[in-house]
Structure 1
Amino acid sequence: MCTVSAQISLSDGSRLQSEFNLSGQQNKTVLYFDNKDHEVVKRAGRLFAEDIQRVTGKLPATVSSEARLAENSVIIGTIGSSGLIDKLIREGKIEVGGLKGKWESYLVQLVANPAPGVKKALIIAGSDRRGTAYGVFSLSEAIGVSPWYWWADAPVERRSQLNLKVETTVSNEPSVKYRGIYVNDEDWGLLRWAKRTFDVKQGNIGPKTYAKVFELLLRLKANYLCPAMHEASTAFNKIPENKLLADSFAIVMGSVHAEPLLFNNASEWDKKTMGEWDYLTNKEGINKVLKERVKSNAKYENVYTLALRGIHDKAMSVNSSIKDRVKVLGDALLDQRRILTDVIGKPANQIPQAFTPYKEVLDIYSNGLELPDDVTIVWPDDNYGYLKRLSNAAERKRSGRSGVYYHASYLGKPHDYLWISSTPPALMYEELRKAYDTSADRLWLLNVGDIKSCEFPFSLFMDMAYNINKFDYAMISKYHAAWLSNLFGKQHYDQLLDVTTSYYQLAFARKPEAMGWGYEWNTNKNDRERTTDTDFSFSNYKEAESRLKEYDRIGNAVTSLMGKLKDNQKPSFYQLLYYPVKGAELMNKMHLTAQKNRWYARQQRAATNLLKDEVKVYYDSLQVITKGYNSLLNGKWNHMMSMVQGVTASYFELPRLDSVVLSGPAALNVLAEGEDVLKGVRSFHALPSFNTYNRPSYYIDIYNTGKDPLKWSLKPSDSWIVVNTKSGSTTTEERIWVSVDWKKVPRGEKVAGSVTITAGNKKEEVLVSVFNPVAPSLADVNGLFIEDNGYISINATGFHKKVENEDIKMRIVPGLGYEGASVQLGDPTAPFQNPMSSTVPSLEYNFYTFQAGSVDVYTYALPTFPVSTDRALGHETSGGETKYGVCIDDGPVSQPSTSAMEYSQVWSENVLRNSAVKKSVLHINRPGKHTLKILCGDPGVVISKVVLDFGGMKRSYLGPPATKAVSLSN
């Protein structure tokens, strides 16, 4: 089988036998489809003609009569529904044996003299109606029309001629049978845009909007939609035209986990006329409306959701034991299946059905709910990208197989993320690949919020669902850059890769929406998010300022790149990369600089008020770029992007800012790197120790707390202390960089010096200490992780040895973790490994310490859940934990877990920081060289970094950077 992208491409028109002239000055190509074929085929044909016009400016004719075929013809049709396609099959002019009976597959082939008057025809034949449409739209992409030409204004390169090089292609069946999205509009994006900008007459998300959604789905080779469900939106089935339109695009309709049998109880259930939405007291009333819904929709293609939750996606209020809830839900699902068989007139196992054990429903399922074998179990993530459970050995044998419900956007605890998409592609692939490998090949559903801002994860999700084997860990972190370079030019790939890599790494540590550091959804539902200082440190490891510096760098990069683009590329670039990157940059700058302002105010720094003004600029700039988004293309997207998202969120608001009143003469103050304390708490200033094995630079802030300019001078105590400047004048502050001349510094474990800063009659001294022992030499510790200031920090990919077996192979995963890459301990579907075994697969890290005794070992791992706790797979039933082992040398093994109970405080912290940080207390018997081992337990655990704290680790969010000894060349 061939992939289309490799077999259909633009050519230079060299008139080879394998080439087809689609449009040109001497050519009048016509597009043919049979009027008796499916409506979606005719729609696809007409849209393809418009795509040709987008490229060439010329609209080719679409015909439905064989008599109107031209010398050059594109013949589009579905096997069994197109008379001409069937005739070509009978005459042996096209071979479709590889297509018959396949799901959504197609043939693309050039045929000479297929019919009277036709010299050459480009044939697109589908195994079914969607297969035909997918074949047509694969040609649209080949000529340069992106599926996002309308939804993201993807640029189309104009050409005077269109020539295709075509090799016979038969597409594979999609990896996942049903692939689609849930439009989760919450009334601050898509709905407001639809009712105020795009479809003012309808005043809601109606047929005009859904037609654009259906077309996008079809172009992305998707086939499934769960429509908006919230009360502000008119329910999909309240507008009869909607379902007719869906069928004309061949889109399979469904409903989300809370909506049984396509019924939207949030906006369609009328308590006054229908009674309570309560299965125990109003079973007949509920089943009556469900039966009516199935009757009105049964003639269309649907996947029917079996469900029973409360109104508006809340838990059903049933004050009973878990055993009783299992029975109630089981009875309700059986009633719904009877409705389906009675109305549709087919056996239940021939009617597509899905059941999503979401939130409390998973507990009910896990406590004994019996689900018919043919029903597809759709496993949900925890709303933050981590799948809570997947099929065990028995469930993998079910005829209904399984699927996933995944989030690229979410409103809920512990914090919403609705504004800009930032889920790393590598995380999506890691979670969805293991789902697919455990039978999740029947239905994939992505919550895309308002669609806008989720354009890339939407595309990535559908690309994976269509052909999961196209992806691997080596390319997934580069996929976004490749996707963008297809739109804006291959020459920009390297810069796009640089920006997207940094963007995801920064957002992985903390999403822009969570930079206010407050909690939403407290006990009182009306509680506002209370923003506060972040955990990013301005004192330690240059953490906060490094983050600001990197956002500044990629913000400048996207600004520069947009300046290099053509005018017709800029609106799309603004939406797809400029706004997300600049938005994230400004959100981080606003909250981190506000934190710095409050910190400065406590120190009475003269620069405090300048930072206050700076924060206001960032706040205003967020409004400006958002207004810029909404005004693109004469207001096409007006009201789509909003600074108000979430019902209790306040991260968009101007943070609390402090001021200082400056009076009197200049006043000298200093703060040395690593000082968390305020003036007066400690009687001396000291830099962190300079370590010969790491050879860092540290800073001293000289700052003014008076009104007049501060003139200062600086004097190191010894010639081996190197500073970047020795005098100056400042009204606010100046940063001095201090380093060590390692050729001059004396040898010894306790080398001391100082830097004295003088301003007028005042002096401040900053102590400088150097750790420069005679042994070990740099050669002795070359390549080792080495203790520095009382800690050792290890990046997971820096292992010195890996121990593997037939089942477990260690895999580096670029694009995940605080350090930019992580290590996965074997394939998640592999058998359980015993961390206590002497031969267990492991990663080994060699390190050198100058201490002995107890050490706190912090491991940073992705907060994943167990794939399964099924003993048949070799897993221990450990209460839903995902364990791995940690030990030093051959010492005792600690067994941390990556998972936590959903909605617990631990889980909340884990998902907000995308890391389960666990402490193990281990022991080192002597100073010197040792080996840290990370041992495989539950396969698939992803480790990002490890920190050994001997008592010197300072407070920070990401932990200290890696402390590998400098190379000998330095």
Structure 2
Amino acid sequence: MKYIFLGILLIPQFLLAQVQVTSQTAKAEKAFTIAHSNAVASIYVDIDDYSVVDKSATLLSADIESITGKKPPLVSSLKHLKNNVIIVGTVGKNQIIDKLINKNKLDVNEIEGQWERFIIQVVDKPAKGIEKALVIAGSDKRGTAYGIFSLSEAIGVSPWYWWADVPIKESRELYFKNERYVSKKPSVKYRGIFLNDEDWGLHPWAAKNIDPKLGDIGPNTYERVFELLLRLKANMVAPAMHECTKAFFTVPGNMQMADDYGILITTSHCEPLLYNNASEWSKKEQGEWNYKTNRNEIVNALENRVKQAAENDNIYTIALRGMHDEGMKGGSDDDKLNMLTEAIKDQRTLLSKHIDKPLSEIPQIFVPYKEVLGLYEKGLDVPEDITIVWPDDNYGYIKKLGNSEEQKRKGGTGVYYHISYLGWPNDYLWLNTTPPTLMYAEMHKAYSLGADKYWLVNVGDIKPGEMGMQLFLDMAWDFEKFSFENINQYQTSYLTSIFGEKYQKDIEIIFDKYYYHGFTRKPEYMTWDWRWNSLFAHEKVKDTDLSFINYNEADKRLNDYNTISEKAKVILNQLPENLKPSFFELIYYPVKAASLYNHEMLIAQKNRWYATQNRALTNVLATDVKLYHDSLATLTAEYNNLLGGKWNGMMTAPGFLPTEQLPPTQYIEIPQTSEMGIFVEGSVSNETSKHCLPEFYNSLNNIHYFDIYNKGSVPLKWKATSNDNWININKKEGETSTEDRITVSINWELLKGKSSSEGEINVSDGETSKKIKVLASNDKLINKEQYTEYNGTISICPTEYQRKTENGNIKFQAIKGLGYTSSCLQLGNAKYDNGDDSFVEYDFHTTSTGEVTIYTYMLPLFSKDKSHSTKYGVQIDNKEKVIHHNDVKEYSKEWANNVLRNSAIDKTIVNIDKAGLHTLKIFSVDPGMIIHKIIIDTGGLKDSYIGPKTINKKF
């Protein structure tokens, strides 16, 4: 990663802002002086400009003071000023800027009349007595604000200086280097966040700390939110709307605060015309929320809201659902379709009646969420000027996008996306584990299919979703900056720019493994049951499919979490004190908390498994589970108490709501004796008289293990021997109160000339003996030209193919940092259809014959539009091509399994007549499908979750 020094920060080239500021005098000869040792520039704001411009200029003054110690005065007259001045304002609302335009000293032709653009330019002698001015001119009020905050970020004030406590680096001198900078047109017109499921984080925190007099989320909280949104170049928010929170429009000061900051208010899919029935509707006073039986009362409530909000900038949801997030009431689908049609007409009539604009100029959205999508596809007529906002399935997979006709809509289309969700089959409200690559892949598909009018992301409580929120809004602002090639480095680069280049490699490792394991199974899903109908019922916790027996799967997961937790801890301890809170919030807590919860749940599983074997360690593991649980509680309390309790109430971990609960563990009676037990890696039973380790292969140089464990409380003495000198045993005797893990490897030099060998290990405690078979193959398995069978399986990374055939406009796209192999293959861009008979080929060698099963692991994507499916093809050699699709019904059991494991797994059964070389082909049928792992089972596949590791892959 290449870095550029701008005097304030080391900034990765990928993230380099084109607005450049330096603190080095030698590099500032032609630069505009913002501040130096003796003076600081003034900031001019026209008193007739918008409130948000004044707010932004005031914050800029505070930002400069926080860096230099010198506070720029805000002025509304240039009289008597002789030093440099920063002139900020909106074209047409700032007299000085307008004069500079008229005198041809400032050219705004590129931005004038456009949406949310700005120019930053140095102007010589802008007015009498002033040598230089730094002019920030916006095409509209938010364009001006974005220009101001672009300068703030360039001088070293992170958008997250308050919300994530990113420290500001002090410097006595600041110089603006550009002569002129012109912003691009925003990629997406409306860009914002939905504050949601606030019951356990944002609401209690705000009620205690920010709006204590209100005891709720109020204007003080929203002021902080609105400032953050402006700094991130967003322009809208869907306010918190659960029953625990007073509806946004009912709290004095909220509307005015939004207007002061120039933020548009939008609402979720179930809040028609800004009305939140979850906390505003009174069944006792107003009757049922049922359009069929109570239409007049509902229309009256909506009309009152439109009258109240008409003078502000809003985006109006045209909608009809049940109470809060419930489905629509009122009979059959045909009845609901008729009701929704009438509701749309009624709501648009209210907008025309109370807002003094042509109806087509009033921003309106329609979100076909859950059952409403079915009604839309049944033929619902949505007026052309309404923006259709396509939702994901709550788990990061967009359900539908516009076809060629829908893309032509005057109102355009957009996306509603989740990085936080409360609902069936399982919530994920705690940690942000949505991989950047998944978000980019889905938003790339949406953007390429014309969904660029409105992007809303459900961020829950904001914290700890900061990095997911930042990425989403950065993409919405400038989508062309991102690509499949750089997206996996985005967060690492951003965080390295804060915490230091020397930590770049460690942060990359931390996030690679954090997102990998979060993708394979989110921490919140480690209960492994469907939690929604019994959200806090830990008695339903069951064993995971992660195996302690096969492929070292569960142990590897825990070891990886230990590794990245330790790396994060080392960095945390090395950082200066001012950087520690931010690092704790953005990196250490998510990583360590995920590790602790995975340990808590998996060690509880191991405890229950050990109990069936009567291992002496069983009860110790039960105690360990409680220690992990308590450690997570301590870590969470540390988060809430950071900086003197600044975040008190924000963070709550799983297992502590509504009361503290532990996963089930078992205790066993341990006899006052010693008794030996043996467990061999991959064994289904641990009590057989003879065991066999998985086969060793020369090319893999693999290592396997067996456990010698004690079933009693008296220490167990043991010995492990072999008459075969080519078998290496790392420990040949010992004494254990609980268990010893013994690793076995092969001395291949002693097996030269032999294609395969069979040996034996004998394990004894002096009274009983058990034998373990050892098989070693000298076959050369790893061949860059082909995949080869080992232990009855062939595991394939989809991006590592031998050949590809791309016809028409189909292109196969590798996606790093996503999937069970951490590397996916997109079978053609979803935008294009012309590419019949496009495929990739994988050569593989088998020693087995007969029936084999090919398992293809696909992302559980939906078809791109109603004219397409999710088809792809699988073929072995010249046998018949098998077409698969994953058009599963949303909210079905199959769909629920798919989203929890982030995989739709298909089986193809083929008969292979002879051993030797074969070819697997994967075909693009419906472009945009993404495959992330392939396993060919020739008869040796073991029970597990991820399956065998792909040779030469790090995961």
For the superposition of Structure 1 and Structure 2, which TM-score range results when normalised by the shorter chain? over 0.9
Correspondence 1:770 to 2:776: yes
Partner of 1:686: 692
Correspondence 1:814 to 2:824: no
Higher deviation after alignment, 96-105 or 804-813: 804-813
1:649-688 matches, cutoff 5 A:
653-679=661-687, 682-688=688-694
Correspondence 1:184 to 2:181: no
Partner of 1:365: 376
Structure 1 gap segments, 5+ residues each? 835-839, 876-880
The answer to whether the 8 A contact 1:783-1:965 is kept is: no
The residue type paired with residue 417 of structure 2 is Y
Q: Separation in 1 of the partners of 2:419 and 2:19? A: 32
The answer to whether the 8 A contact 2:801-2:841 is kept is: yes
Higher deviation after alignment, 398-407 or 482-491: 482-491
Partner of 1:345: 356
Per-residue CA deviations over 1:379-433 (Å, capped at 9, x if unaligned) read 0000000000000111001011100000010000110000111100000000011
1:11 positional shift: 4.4
Q: Separation in 2 of the partners of 1:645 and 1:344? A: 48
1:78 positional shift: 0.3
Name the SS for the 1:956 alignment partner: coil
Higher deviation after alignment, 660-669 or 257-266: 660-669
1:716 positional shift: 1.1
Q: Separation in 1 of the partners of 2:291 and 2:535? A: 26
Per-residue CA deviations over 1:68-117 (Å, capped at 9, x if unaligned) read 53411000010001111101111111111111111000000001111111
Name the SS for the 1:284 alignment partner: helix
Distance 1:964-1:46 versus aligned 2 partners, 3 A rule: closer
Distance 1:110-1:525 versus aligned 2 partners, 3 A rule: closer
Correspondence 1:760 to 2:766: yes
Q: Separation in 2 of the partners of 1:844 and 1:212? A: 53
Q: Find 2:793's aligned residue among 791, 805, 813.
A: 791
The answer to whether the 8 A contact 2:430-2:654 is kept is: no
Q: Separation in 1 of the partners of 2:282 and 2:603? A: 50
Partner of 2:75: 63
Distance 1:44-1:442 versus aligned 2 partners, 3 A rule: same
The residue type paired with residue 927 of structure 2 is P
1:886 positional shift: 0.7
Name the SS for the 1:294 alignment partner: helix
Q: Separation in 1 of the partners of 2:214 and 2:498? A: 33
Partner of 1:542: 552
Distance 1:163-1:16 versus aligned 2 partners, 3 A rule: closer
The residue type paired with residue 767 of structure 2 is N
The residue type paired with residue 750 of structure 2 is K
Correspondence 1:160 to 2:172: yes
Partner of 2:841: 844
Q: Separation in 2 of the partners of 1:427 and 1:534? A: 24
Partner of 1:957: 945
The answer to whether the 8 A contact 1:106-1:126 is kept is: yes
The answer to whether the 8 A contact 2:24-2:173 is kept is: no
Partner of 1:209: 221
Percentage of identical aligned residues: 46
Correspondence 1:563 to 2:565: no
Q: Find 1:455's aligned residue among 457, 461, 466.
A: 466
Partner of 1:551: 561
Per-residue CA deviations over 1:501-529 (Å, capped at 9, x if unaligned) read 1110111100011111121233x788667
Distance 1:400-1:842 versus aligned 2 partners, 3 A rule: same
Q: Find 2:929's aligned residue among 938, 941, 946.
A: 941
1:841 positional shift: 1.3
Partner of 1:878: none
Q: Find 2:446's aligned residue among 435, 438, 453.
A: 435
Partner of 1:495: 506
Q: Separation in 1 of the partners of 2:844 and 2:154? A: 53
The answer to whether the 8 A contact 2:689-2:771 is kept is: no
Q: Separation in 1 of the partners of 2:211 and 2:259? A: 21
Correspondence 1:404 to 2:415: yes
Name the SS for the 1:797 alignment partner: coil
1:506-525 matches, cutoff 5 A:
506-522=517-533
1:736-747 matches, cutoff 5 A:
736-745=742-751
The residue type paired with residue 293 of structure 1 is R
1:76-475 matches, cutoff 5 A:
76-320=88-332, 322-475=333-486
Per-residue CA deviations over 1:290-316 (Å, capped at 9, x if unaligned) read 112111111111111100011111112
1:802 positional shift: 1.4
Distance 1:728-1:783 versus aligned 2 partners, 3 A rule: farther
The residue type paired with residue 789 of structure 1 is N
Per-residue CA deviations over 1:742-801 (Å, capped at 9, x if unaligned) read 23237667632210012112111111123446xxx669x554211112111111122111
Higher deviation after alignment, 164-173 or 469-478: 164-173
Q: Separation in 2 of the partners of 1:559 and 1:326? A: 56
Per-residue CA deviations over 1:711-759 (Å, capped at 9, x if unaligned) read 1111113122121121122111111111222232376676322100121
Q: Find 1:624's aligned residue among 625, 634, 637.
A: 634
Partner of 1:837: none
Distance 1:289-1:964 versus aligned 2 partners, 3 A rule: closer
The residue type paired with residue 663 of structure 1 is P
Correspondence 1:707 to 2:713: yes
Name the SS for the 1:822 alignment partner: strand
Higher deviation after alignment, 661-670 or 57-66: 661-670
Correspondence 1:485 to 2:496: yes
Structure 2 gap segments, 5+ residues each? 1-13
The residue type paired with residue 841 of structure 2 is E
Higher deviation after alignment, 23-32 or 391-400: 23-32
Partner of 2:11: none
Per-residue CA deviations over 1:801-858 (Å, capped at 9, x if unaligned) read 1111231111110110111111111111110655xxxxx1111111100112221100
Name the SS for the 1:166 alignment partner: coil
1:932 positional shift: 0.8
1:579 positional shift: 0.4
Q: Separation in 2 of the partners of 1:937 and 1:518? A: 34
Q: Separation in 1 of the partners of 2:400 and 2:657? A: 29
Distance 1:70-1:188 versus aligned 2 partners, 3 A rule: farther
Q: TM-score, normalised by structure 1?
A: 0.94
Q: Separation in 1 of the partners of 2:723 and 2:740? A: 20
Name the SS for the 2:209 alignment partner: helix
1:6 positional shift: 2.2
Partner of 2:617: 607
Q: Separation in 2 of the partners of 1:274 and 1:115? A: 62
Name the SS for the 2:910 alignment partner: strand
The answer to whether the 8 A contact 1:693-1:786 is kept is: no
The answer to whether the 8 A contact 1:411-1:646 is kept is: no
Q: Separation in 2 of the partners of 1:861 and 1:9? A: 46
Partner of 1:824: 826
The answer to whether the 8 A contact 1:794-1:964 is kept is: no
Q: Separation in 2 of the partners of 1:888 and 1:529? A: 46
Name the SS for the 2:349 alignment partner: helix
Per-residue CA deviations over 1:253-284 (Å, capped at 9, x if unaligned) read 11111001111111111223322211111212
Distance 1:310-1:965 versus aligned 2 partners, 3 A rule: closer
Distance 1:393-1:965 versus aligned 2 partners, 3 A rule: closer
Partner of 1:868: 865
Q: TM-score, normalised by structure 2?
A: 0.96
The answer to whether the 8 A contact 1:11-1:19 is kept is: no
Partner of 1:598: 608
The residue type paired with residue 918 of structure 1 is D
Q: Separation in 2 of the partners of 1:361 and 1:733? A: 57
Q: Separation in 2 of the partners of 1:632 and 1:155? A: 14
The residue type paired with residue 114 of structure 1 is P
RMSD: 2.0
Give the total of aligned pairs.
941
